[in-house]
Amino acid sequence: MGLAKRIIPCLDVKDGETVKGTNFVNLRSAGDPVELGKAYSEQGADELCFLDITASFEGRKTFTDMVTRVAKEINIPFTVGGGINELADVERLLYAGADKVSVNSAAIRRPELISEITNRFGSQVCVVAIDARFDADGWHCYLKGGRERTERGLFEWAHEAQERGAGEILFTSMDHDGVKEGYANEALRELADNLSIPIIASGGAGKKEHFRDTFIDGHADAALAASVFHFGEIPIPELKAYLKAEGINVRM
């Protein structure tokens, strides 16, 4: 059966509340992050992911306080990302109660950050998040919440992140984000089949079948989703029961 596949609700946090958009824009409110985190923990989510999507300097303290409040309410692994540029940021969030940190833009700008985090805290703490879009010349990585294209290709960057010690890759397809038509399974499969670390699928969940497909066709180790959970479209216990019935190994 292999390792159990993980279901990970993701909370994008802006100014202390959970928001959700489509293709990284048109954000709408989805509720209090502490309450949502607690509810997901109770419903059987395997992990939680919190992203401070506007990680502006002023908002950092507010966000750190919120991480502490969430950590007190849950008993599952908890990944936090947004505005992590140096070891001091990692230390602050781990001290506040996070189990792992997710780095994205800062790691592309300065890849040594990955090695620094893993050397200091262990590779299990470092999740490298990659936002990529399929352009005319293939999959390219984007920075600043999807606003700025880089010359890094998805597959070569994911490989370098692994070589530098990343514990997991969280791949979000910007083309699929919030569209609810399924994950980017072809790209996910290429990542999963060529890397030895776990791959988390993100962007595109709209129905239970999409989770099944990303595990079977995309070879993903975990599936992350936001709005289908926040707005009650797919209850986690129901999703896990469905996946189990489809022959997928999940923790009940």
- Identified catalytic residue from 52, 89, 131, 213: 131
35 to 52, 88, 146, 225, 237: CA distances (angstroms): 16, 28, 28, 17, 18
Burial class of residue 181, CB neighbours in 10 A (0-12, 13-18, 19+): exposed
- Identified catalytic residue from 12, 46, 52, 177: 12
**Catalytic status, residue 177:** no
**Catalytic status, residue 12:** yes
28-32 long-range CB contacts below 8 Å, 24 or more apart? 30/226, 30/227, 30/230, 30/231, 31/230
* Measured distance CA(108)–CA(191) in Å, rounded: 18
Instruction: Encode burial over 56-93: b for 16+ CB neighbours within 10 A, e otherwise.
Output: eeebbeebbebbebbbeebebbbbbbbbbeeeebbebb
Contacts of residue 250, defined as CB under 8 A and 6 or more positions apart, other chains included, come to: 4, 5, 7, 240, 243, 244
Return the active site residues: 12, 131
